[in-house]
Amino acid sequence: MKKERLTRIKELVLEFDITTQDMLVDILNKDGYNVTQATVSRDIKKLGLIKSFEDGVNKYVLKKETETANTV
Amino acid sequence: MKKERLTRIKELVLEFDITTQDMLVDILNKDGYNVTQATVSRDIKKLGLIKSFEDGVNKYVLKKETETANTV
DNA sequence: TCTGAATAAGAATTCAAC
DNA sequence: GTTGAATTCTTATTCAGA
């Protein structure tokens, strides 16, 4: 397992609007990391990334906290 | 659109570990709300629910904040 | 342990209808 | 504006292998 790759993924979601795992696969491959969607899926789980609507797009972001009791 | 249903969904994710939209469909149907996965998908978007690992399960939770810059 | 290929599972969208 | 059926898209997992 490449910790380096995990760090790179985190950088990528902070910098870009990553909406699918395939996007990450593409970028990582161009970066020289040879990975498939299966691996990215696992990496995302390790990093605790979640998909969330931000700025009108459903993208991966780093999880902070979740549970709230806001009103609808 | 039933605002009532949205409220119920929020209650459900707070009370139970809802891991799939189909689970919500089942429960809502038993509750008397006749909906399909398509509608639940839209409701989840409206409520801002996200899937997150909590207590070892990947479940729907209410979004609070996301973007962080924690270390890996 | 880690990974990929293939598959299964889950979720979002299209398209029509109301 | 809201919904369901069907479809497409996306993600998680299985299974094998290194």
pLDDT in tens, A16-71: 999 999 999 999 999 999 999 999 999 999 999 999 988 789 999 998 754 444 44
pLDDT at B71 exceeding the cut of 60: no
Question: In a 10 Å sphere around its CB, with 0-12 CB exposed, 13-18 middle and 19+ buried, how is residue B40 labelled?
Answer: buried
Tokens read off for A58: 């459903």
Q: Which two tokens stand for residue A14?
A: 């902070």
- Report how far residue B72's alpha carbon sits from residue B62's, in angstroms, rounded to the nearest whole number: 24
Residue A26 has which token pair?
A: 């593409």
Q: For residue B26, give how far its alpha carbon lies from the nearest alpha carbon of chain A (Å).
A: 22
Residues of A within 8 A of B48 (CB-CB) are 52-53
Q: Across the interface, do A52 and B66 touch by the CB < 8 Å criterion?
A: yes
- pTM equals 0.87
- State the Cα–Cα distance between residues B22 and A18, nearest whole angstrom: 26
Confidence of residue B2 (pLDDT cuts 50, 70, 90): confident
CA distance A30 to chain B (A): 22
- Which position has the token pair 């990528």? A12
Beta carbons of B66 and A50 less than 8 Å apart: yes
For residue B63, CA distances in Å to A13, A70, B32, B45 come to: 18, 9, 26, 11
| pLDDT of res. B54 | 84
Determine whether A59 is exposed, middle or buried from the number of CB atoms within 10 Å of its CB (0-12, 13-18, 19+).
Answer: buried
**Residue B51's pLDDT is what?**
94
Residues A12, A27: contact at Cβ < 8 Å?
yes
